[in-house]
Amino acid sequence: MLNLSLKQLSTLLESKKISSVELTREFLKRVEILNQEYNAFITVNEEMSLDQAYVADTMIASGEACPLTGIPIAHKDIFCTKGWLTTCGSKMLSNFISPYDAHVIERFNMTGTVNIGKTNMDEFAMGSSNETSFYGSVKNPWDITTVPGGSSGGSACAVAARMAPAATGTDTGGSIRQPAALCGVSGIKPTYGLVSRYGMIAFASSLDQGGAIAKSAADLALMLNVMVGFDARDSTSLQRDKEDYTRDLEKPLEGLRIGLPKEYFAEGMSDDVSRGVDAAITEYNKLGAKMVEVSLPNTKLSIPVYYVLAPAEASSNLSRFDGVRYGHRALKYADLDDMYEKSRAQGFGAEVKRRILIGTYVLSHGYYDAYYIKAQKLRRLIAQDFAEVFKQCEIVMGPTSSTVAFALGERSNDPLQMYLSDTYTAAASLAGLPGMSIPAGFGNRSRPVGLHIIGNYFSEAHMLNVAHQYQQVTDWHTRMPEITKV
């Protein structure tokens, strides 16, 4: 049951071999047992989950079911969910009960899925290790002394530990792909604008994108079929014809041109990750793909560009959290200015404060042109690099993370090393391109290795095909941490 695909679970539900209520109870029980150790969930509400399961069973009985009807899905605690605590992993929102649903949540509710709980995350999605959460660190189920990655670490952990069949996440600079890699699961960030940001609490608006984490590429395709859709309430939402992201899964890869950027295979990648990626490339050769050496010369600029632009947007977006309308408010203050200062000082954690300060600095008079405008120009050059590369190949491939999961606390006091966790993922986010990570073996101490796949705009179905074909000849995506087999 734990390792069944979303399609297999759907078949069981449709054939009445199991009910949504029974399935939901199974996963709720597992969450209760494992979450004490992994800390993957911030909020679980058994009553509300079971209510949704009863509705799903009614939909199935009346023949109104969709492919995901009745299946429990975990949601990152950045998506506003009506009647649920929605915290963004922050003390600032530790008492916020959302009065409405995000567009993503609305779409899952319409499909009849069950919300199994809200997953832990780096505070306001700022982090690469899930250690900045007000609710404590999430543990990697493959090795509880290591991080699960971030900021969607709770979602990745929940799927890896089989506490949920699949989960939503968000990706700003790698926050779906990096934790998917470190936890040995599959994760996808679609083209910017395909998934509505309405009700997704903002970090960096020009970069944030909702996506999915699941065991396999086939499961991700079913998730995208629900999540992707136009929303007039989001000015960046793209209006496109509806796609079936499962349509190309079985296509052979004969003749596929895969670009291997020389910058991705230079210094910086650990030997164990290199071995895993090389082995995956060998499998793709066997599947008929052709490797092409390409160059992304401005990749080296992606981290400094990202850490100018993202904090700048965060500084603006987080100004709304002032203790006046909702969220944390200091108990004692002298006047309005004092209330602002104390509420924000108490409500935000150290990493969020650091990024607000950086962002405010680069937007300030005298530095705006030197930093922010220059970073925007470099962002365009990074996007142009990819445009040139996609004239030579259909897919770009490399490592998702330069290392396997690192120890809890190892980089907590070294922000620069933490920021470098996004080395291979930030460029695709800056360009607005779709990217995904799939399991590609294990490195040192049996910690998972992730393979990064980047496609051109709106090529998600093709990317999922590339990933699925690899997963048909390997079993990395089916492996489960020993500790989760309870």
Considering only CA atoms, which of 404, 460, 466, 126 is closest in space to residue 274?
404
CATH number of the domain that 52 lies in? 3.90.1300.10
Q: Which among 376, 398, 415 is the end of a domain?
A: 376
CB of 158 closer than 8 Å to CB of 119: yes
What residues are labeled active site?
Answer: 76, 151, 175
Distance in angstroms (rounded) separating the CA atoms of residues 136 and 121: 9
In terms of domains, do 244 and 343 share one?
no
- The interaxial angle of helices 460-473 and 271-286, nearest 10 deg, is 90
Q: Please give the C-alpha separations between residue 469 and each of 12, 183, 466, in angstroms, as whole numbers.
A: 25, 21, 6
Whether residues 146 and 43 share a domain: the answer is yes
CA separation for the pair 401, 340 (Å, rounded) = 38
Residue 267 has a pLDDT of 81
Token match 């954690």: residue?
Answer: 349
- Counts for the chain of helices (H) and strands (E), in that order: 15, 11
Please state the pTM of the whole predicted model.
0.97
- 354 is in which domain, residue-wise? 319-376
- Give the per-residue pLDDT at 34: 97
Q: Say if CB 327 and CB 92 are below 8 A apart.
A: yes
149 and 231 together in one domain: yes
- Same domain, yes or no, for 197 and 58? yes
On whether residue 287 sits in a domain, the answer given is no
Kindly give the confidence (pLDDT) of every residue in the chain, 486 residues in length, as a single tens digit, with 9 standing for 90 and above. Answer: 889 999 999 999 999 999 999 999 999 999 999 999 999 999 999 999 999 999 999 999 999 999 999 999 999 999 999 999 999 999 999 999 999 999 999 999 999 999 999 999 999 999 999 999 999 999 999 999 999 999 999 999 999 999 999 999 999 999 999 999 999 999 999 999 999 999 999 999 999 999 999 999 999 999 999 999 999 999 999 999 999 999 999 999 999 999 999 999 988 899 999 999 999 999 999 999 999 999 999 999 999 999 999 999 999 999 999 999 899 999 999 999 999 999 999 999 999 999 999 999 999 998 999 999 999 999 999 999 999 999 999 999 999 999 999 999 999 889 889 998 999 999 999 999 999 999 999 999 999 999 999 999 999 999 999 999 999 999 999 999 986 444
Tell me the C-alpha distance between 142 and 182, whole Å.
9
Query: Residue 437 forms beta bridges with which residues?
Result: 187, 452
For residue 267, what are its two tokens?
């210094």
- Claim to verify: residue 188 and residue 55 sit in the same structural domain: yes
DSSP 395-408: EEEEESSSSSPPBT
Number of domains in the chain: 2
Same domain, 204 and 338: no
For residues 291 and 410, the answer to whether their CB atoms sit within 8 Å is: no
Asked whether residue 416 is domain-assigned, the answer is: no
Task: Identify whether residues 362 and 227 lie together within a single domain.
Answer: no
Question: Per the domain annotation, does 110 fall within a domain?
Answer: yes
Is residue 257 a part of any domain in this protein? no
- Which of 209, 227, 250 is at the close of a domain? 250
Cα 352 to Cα 346: distance, rounded to the nearest angstrom: 12
Contacts for 222 with CB less than 8 Å, ≥ 6 apart: 6, 7, 67, 68, 245, 246
Give a yes or no: residue 309 inside a domain: no
Q: Is residue 268 part of a domain?
A: no
Residue 465, in any domain of the structure? no
Q: Which of these three, 331, 350, 376, is where a domain ends?
A: 376
Is the Cβ–Cβ distance between 132 and 351 less than 8 Å? yes
Residues 243 and 327 in one domain: no
Q: Are residues 85 and 169 in the same domain?
A: yes
Phi, psi of 132 (to 5 degrees): -95, 0
Do 202 and 86 lie in one domain? The reply is yes
Q: Please give the radius of gyration of the chain, using alpha carbons only, rounded to the nearest integer.
A: 21
Q: What pLDDT shows up at residue 485?
A: 45
Residue 167 and residue 22 in one domain: yes
Interacting residues of 242 by C-beta distance below 8 A, sequence separation 6+: 229
Q: List strand residue ranges (DSSP E) for 108-224, in order.
A: 114-119, 166-171, 186-189, 209-214
Which pLDDT does position 482 carry in this prediction?
A: 87
Is residue 106 located within the same domain as residue 231?
yes
pLDDT of residue 266: 83
Q: CA 112, CA 232: separation in Å to the nearest integer?
A: 23
In-domain check, residue 472: no
Pairing type for strands 435-442 and 290-294 reads unpaired
